[in-house]
Every structure is written in structure tokens, then in C-alpha cells.
Structure 1
């Protein structure tokens, strides 16, 4: 069988291509010991004339990084020795804003595991296949054991960086990854990865074109981020206007909020007599002062302030000691399942039995029209229960049962910037902040006429729908 080696398109110091093409147009690999193997089934696609296939080992060397010595830790101060971690490897470069550093002593122990500005990095543990270049200022810095450096590169470094980012190379990385608790990509498997190579001048042209496209896409991404910020700011402003009574026009024919609050008190007294709810011995009535102001806001004349406990039949939270995950049955929701004014029933991670749900639901008695509010961790997200589907809650979510108040209005108004700040200011804790129910019940809410509540909800719905269309189009 006769083989024709490729014509020299560029020079490879101290190494040569092992791949040749047979006259029958099949791809073969010729090894240094003279043996030949057909690798046609490994070649993913045909390359243009003048290009060739090679393995990474034919054009570069791959060397590992190094973990800190046992018992060693990062320096509290900036030193001359940065330690590049996987978390620092961003946008195919290195993010220097949160670099960690090591002392001269620790550097001496791992000084053979540095990476140079002429090298590339590839992540090999956990997150597999992230590739990037090293900024000049990080030349000679230490490299984590969760990445390798590709060094002694015989082709254009930036061209190789582009090739290693492509889908077919990334798929090779994934196919070669050990599927264990933490996925790991072995050095030898990187070395055996197939890549296409073109003439050197064409490599430079590809890098140049790629950079133009990448800059253009980066500009688009930046503009998308700015537009997303505008969408968020617009929602923020809508809620700011809503809590001030400036979102919709006032209607003098509306029944004033003071009448609604009086009806709420009457309704709650009747329910207390019937034994359906218990009297809140700490409940009080808020009267208008001279300035009628909370949060620095002066309400319209037809509005009133009220505490949450004044307008709610009850305020409770989910289980403090939830049952273990049953794998199926009744969903057990946490704060993570409350977002974007919705209850995310398609992202359930814990389940309990029907009997366990009956016990848990005695605490909250969740019903249609209840307002759910996250009170631990990510505080202040809210949603309204819209159907009778059974679910239970963990402690991170509170259940508010509004009395004669539009639940959708309450859902939106607690997301206003003023009340969000109040929730933050009144939360407690160190590792994870939360707000106690007693404190939550004292939260002051602006109450507009009932008809105006409906108008506010409708206008927010219309505005949010258009803003969400814009936001979704940016994804």
C-alpha cells in the first residue's frame, strides 16, 4: 500500500505529523515505529485542500497544574504569585478581578506547575473543556490541578484556541471524559484529540475574522444586557408608581379604602365569632397622622395605610421540619419554586406522601387566592395560588390570606422597591437571612380603593406582558 505524505505547509519543531492519506482516499495514521492504522471512522468531516488532520500531541505538549500543598492556604495579601483557578477562567481568558495569591514559600513547592502567556489552558475536572489564553500580566503564574496547559504550540496559539472551542472538539473531550462523581479529562485523551490544521497564513486570517465576529457578538451581548437592565428598571418604576398611587388615575366615585378596612374588621370579627380564625391580640388599627406618610410616601386621599396583620386573615409559614424526600407524591416547595410571580411546579426536587401532606397542610391550609411570599434566603419574591393542586411548603415561604384585598395587588405591591427595602432591613441572620412572621405581620401596606386595585393589577399585567416579550426576545 502506497502512502503520500502531505506537502510541508509549515514547520513543526522537534516533531512531525503522523497522519497520511492513502491513494484510496481513506485516512490513515502512521506511527513512529512504522505501523499504520486506518482511522477513517474517527474523521468527523472532510477538510479543504491544503488542510490536514493531526492530533494535539503532534503540534503541542500538554502538562497538568498542581493543587496547593496539604495544609497550605492562599495568602491574605497580594503577592507576586497568582494562583489561577477554574473560577477565574472566563470568556476564554482569565478574569483578574478575584484572583487568589500564594506566598513565596508555597510557590517554591509548586514552582514547576506554572503557565505562560504563550500557553493555553483547558479545564479538565468538573467543568470540562473550557479553553482560553493567558494575559501577558499572568505570565509564569501557577495553575490549578483542575486544568492543564497546552504548551510548546507549533501552530498559531489563537487559532488552536478557536479550534479547541468548536463543537466537534468539545464533543471529543466529553466522549473522552471519565464519568465519575466529578468528571475528569485525562491528559493522554487531550493529546489524542483530532484537530484540523490549515496553512499558517490562513490560520492568521481565521483568527482575524474570528476576532471581528467575536467583538461584534460581544457588543450585541453588552447591548442585550443593557436592554435587560432597562426592562428590570421599567418594572421597578412601574411598582414605584403603583405604591405611590400614581400608576392609574384616581376615580372620585371609588369607594375609599377606609370603608374597605372597616369591612375587613367586621368580616374578621364575624369569623372570630364562628371560630374560624383566632383573634390577634396584638392587632392594631393604623390611623392617618398629620402627614399620612410611610416609606416617605404621601398617599392619595382615598387610600389608607394598613399593617399586613390588619388586612390578612392569617399569616403562616411552611414546615420547619419537613418530611424527607419521598421521590414522588405531593410536591414540597421551597423559596426556589417561587419566582417571576409564579409557582414553579415543573422544578420540584422534594416530594412527600399524601398522609404527610395532610399533616403539613394543617399549618398553612393553602387555598386559591393565598399570596405566597419568600421569607428566607431570597426574600421578597411572591406569587398567588391560582388552582387547587395540592402542595406543601418549607419554612422559606410564608402564606398570606388576604381579606377583601385583591391578592394580585398584594402580590405586586410587596415587590415594590420600598417594601423590598423594608423586608431586607427587617430580616435577621448571618449565614442565611430570614424574616420572622411577627416582624412580617407589622409590614405597612398602602391600600387603595378596591376598584383601583383592579385597575393597578390590569395595567401592571399589560405592561409586564410587553416587557417580558422584549426580555424573552433577547434570550
Structure 2
């Protein structure tokens, strides 16, 4: 179940008047709009708000010909500027890590219409505190952000005293539930509107107050707004419970895979066969220079027929090549899906434009292991020939005593990744080097057992992957 799509569907039903039944006894929204106008005129006369520059006051309810979609008979369309006090930009003063009052910034507005108070900045400017202090139920609009999230909104519920920064616009409604407005402004109708009216700059999009004032709002009767909010609250609670259960299960699947690999590389996943040729004998036969040990001094004991071997004795020495031909397939860090540990796609690059780092020879069955920030797990199996990888990778090309699939599972295991992390050096891009992998001790089972281990891992992972697919459907 896609909980994001379900959430969106519930919001869309709500603003189309299809989530709760209509009650013909409700006061029509057109009457509500007249009361809003009267209240707005009172606030203007008392000097509490300023009249909009747009037009002279009018006593009749406007009728809009080109509305975004049909709404129930006792609802009404209006512009946002018709139902609010004002749209007010936030403070432009730079905030700091300490101060008298919290400053809500665009990063505090989540993508699901709530405020995150976990990473706050502060201000001690008394004038700003007077001018930009938020009141309970103020709606905050994120006017500048990425293309996908410009226009995200959230309601201030007075969780703690706060002002707001300049990339936010405060919306203070009149006789309209801010919770209902927030529902509208998290719907797919609204997200499409944001996409159509935004202006784009470098890595940022913007929607100013003038454009925001013209947003068309479908307004239900007051009582129906309350019913919609109550129904939405019930549905969102259920959706959140489903999402949390999915996340818990996904975390469990990830932990299960990690545990399977841990058992596999320590000889606990499949039974040993005493008739298997010992790994040490196979290693000596294939690589006469190999140093063999049965204990690395700090890890768990291995089964009797296993041995420890350094990377330099189980992987072929890496080869440097330069691209030939008109184009070549290139594997760099962007090619790797570090969640699934696979190659998403290779880049096809003209040889004349080859990056200087494009010089690691790879072949089908190799495993590329990023030496830059290895904790990010940019690791993948090469599934085709004639590719060149970046020098940021260690290319694990298994010798004959190491099964290619077992090599892959070994390199993505916590034992290898977490073990190699300890050698990282550097501040901006902490990295390990070739020698760290060359000298790392790897557990090596008999070749026949490697085959049994691979078959068992694939059987168990297939079951877990089917569960994962069901969660994502």
C-alpha cells in the first residue's frame, strides 16, 4: 500500500466535497463569505489590517466562471485574499544558535503539513519579536524552496513562542478554519497550482505573496469544515499507523538481511561438509604466495575447513586502462544505487572526454567498492564486460578460489564495511585506500560451501524481497 498516495487521495476527496456527506441544513458557504467580508471591513476600519490594493470593496459574493473543479451546491469558490487578514513576509534578519525566541525557517516546515521543532534558530531582536510573533493557528507558507516543495505549509499551534523567517509568509484567516486551509494547501490540486505559478531560479523556485493571494479556495460551510477536519484526522492517524508499521517491517527486513550475511560469512548459515576441500588447500594451490591464518586474533573462530586470507591474495591486482574507441561505459559514484547495492546504469562517455579518474578496468563478476565514504555503501556487482570504473573504487576481481556471488555478499556485509570504516582519513571526503582492503582479513570457506551459502542467501533474500515489493505496491 502506497501511504503517500492514499493520504493524497483522502485530501483530494475532502476538498471536492466527497469525504463527508452534505447537510442541507448547514449555513451555505456564500453566507459565511459575506460574514467574512463584514469582519474584514471592521478590522480595516479599526486600523488592525490594511485594505488590499486590488479593488474597491463590494457587498456581493463574487461569482467565478472558470473554476478549477466542481464543488457541492452549498460551497463557494473564492480567492485566498478574500478570506484572510493579510499576507506578511517574515524577518530578513540573520538568526543565531541562541536567543530570546525561536525563529521558524523553511526547513522547519515538513512535507506533510506540520512543523518540526528539532532544529531551531533563535533571535533576540525585540522589534522583530514584536512585528513577527506568531499567534495560534497562523498558517505558514514556504515561498522559496526546491521545485517540488515550494509552497509547503504548516499551522503554528503555539507549541512554543516563535517568530518566522523571510522565506515564509504568514497567512491569518478570518472565520475559516486554518486546519481546513492547510488541507487544501496539501492537496494535489494545490501542488499542481504551485507548479504552474512558480518562478524558477538556480536550484530554487519562488511563489510571491501577490500570486498566493490569487489562489482559488473551495470553501465549504463552517460545520462541514469541522466534519472534514475530524474525518481527515481519523484517516491520517490510520495512514500514519500503516506507514509506521511498514517502516518497522522494512527496518526488520534490512536487519534480517544483515543478519543472514553475518551468519553466512561466519559459517553459521549452512552446515559444513567435512569432505569439502579445505579453503587453505585451495588457496595454496591457486596462489602460492598467499599467507594463510586460521585466526585473525579478534574475530569469532571460523569453522574447521575455513581460513582467513588478506584481500591481496583473493583478488586479482587492479588494472589501469584508458578508454579506447569512440565511446565507453563508465561507472562512477552516481552509477550506484547504495540502497540496493546495484548499478543503476552506466554512463556512456566519449573517449575524448574521458574523466582523468576513468581508468579502473572491470569485467563481469567484479565487485566495485567505493573507497570514498565507505559507510555510504556504494558497492555493486558488475554485470557486464567492457566497463571502466573510477579510481575512487577498489575493484574486487575474485580469483578462482572465490565465488563471484560470495565475493559480492562478502563485500556488502557489515563485517567488511564497518571493519574498513575504521581506516577512514580526511575531513571533507573521508576515505580508505587500496592498502586497507589489500591487507584486510577476509573469511574464506571451501569453494563448495561458498556455492551452498550463495544458494541459501538467494533463497532467503528472495523471500524478503517479495515482502518488500508487497510493501511498496
TM-score past 0.5 threshold: yes
Higher relative contact order structure (alpha carbons within 8 Å, sequence separation ≥ 6)? 2
Match of 1:99 in 2: 120
Question: Residues 6-59 of structure 1, C-alpha deviation per residue, up to 9 Å, x if partnerless?
Answer: 75247315348xxxxxxxxxxxxx973699997423x12221121111111111
Give the counterpart of 2:310 among 289, 307, 311.
307
Displacement of 1:60 after TM fit?
0.8
CA distance in structure 2 between the partners assigned to 1:449 and 1:199 by the alignment: 75
Match of 2:165 in 1: 144
Displacement of 1:385 after TM fit?
1.6
How many residue pairs align between the two structures?
420
TM-score normalised by structure 2 residue count: 0.81
Match of 1:156 in 2: 177
Give the counterpart of 1:369 among 340, 365, 371.
365
CA distance in structure 1 between the partners assigned to 2:382 and 2:416 by the alignment: 21
CA distance in structure 2 between the partners assigned to 1:194 and 1:358 by the alignment: 51
Match of 1:113 in 2: 132
Give the counterpart of 1:425 among 415, 422, 427.
422
Question: Residues 189-241 of structure 1, C-alpha deviation per residue, up to 9 Å, x if partnerless?
Answer: 11111111111111111100000000000101110110011000100110110
Deviates more, 1:146-155 or 1:200-209: 146-155
CA distance in structure 2 between the partners assigned to 1:446 and 1:193 by the alignment: 63
**CA shift in 2, pair 1:213/1:360, >3 Å:** closer
CA distance in structure 2 between the partners assigned to 1:440 and 1:469 by the alignment: 33
SS in 2 for 1:456: helix
Match of 2:199 in 1: 178
TM-score normalised by structure 1 residue count: 0.81
**CA shift in 2, pair 1:64/1:473, >3 Å:** farther
Give the counterpart of 1:129 among 148, 151, 163.
151
CA distance in structure 1 between the partners assigned to 2:199 and 2:468 by the alignment: 38
Q: Could you tell me whether the CA contact under 8 Å between 1:85 and 1:144 is conserved in 2? A: yes
Q: Which blocks of at least 5 consecutive residues in structure 1 are unaligned? A: 17-29, 267-282, 323-327
Displacement of 1:456 after TM fit?
1.1
Displacement of 1:84 after TM fit?
0.8
Match of 2:31 in 1: 8
SS in 1 for 2:176: coil
Match of 1:269 in 2: none
- Alignment RMSD (CA, Å): 2.9
SS in 2 for 1:432: coil
**CA shift in 2, pair 1:200/1:39, >3 Å:** closer
Match of 1:201 in 2: 223
SS in 2 for 1:115: coil
SS in 1 for 2:71: coil
Displacement of 1:183 after TM fit?
1.1
SS in 1 for 2:330: strand
Match of 2:8 in 1: none
Aligned ranges 1:396-415 → 2 under 5 Å: 396-404=392-400, 405-415=402-412
CA distance in structure 2 between the partners assigned to 1:115 and 1:359 by the alignment: 54
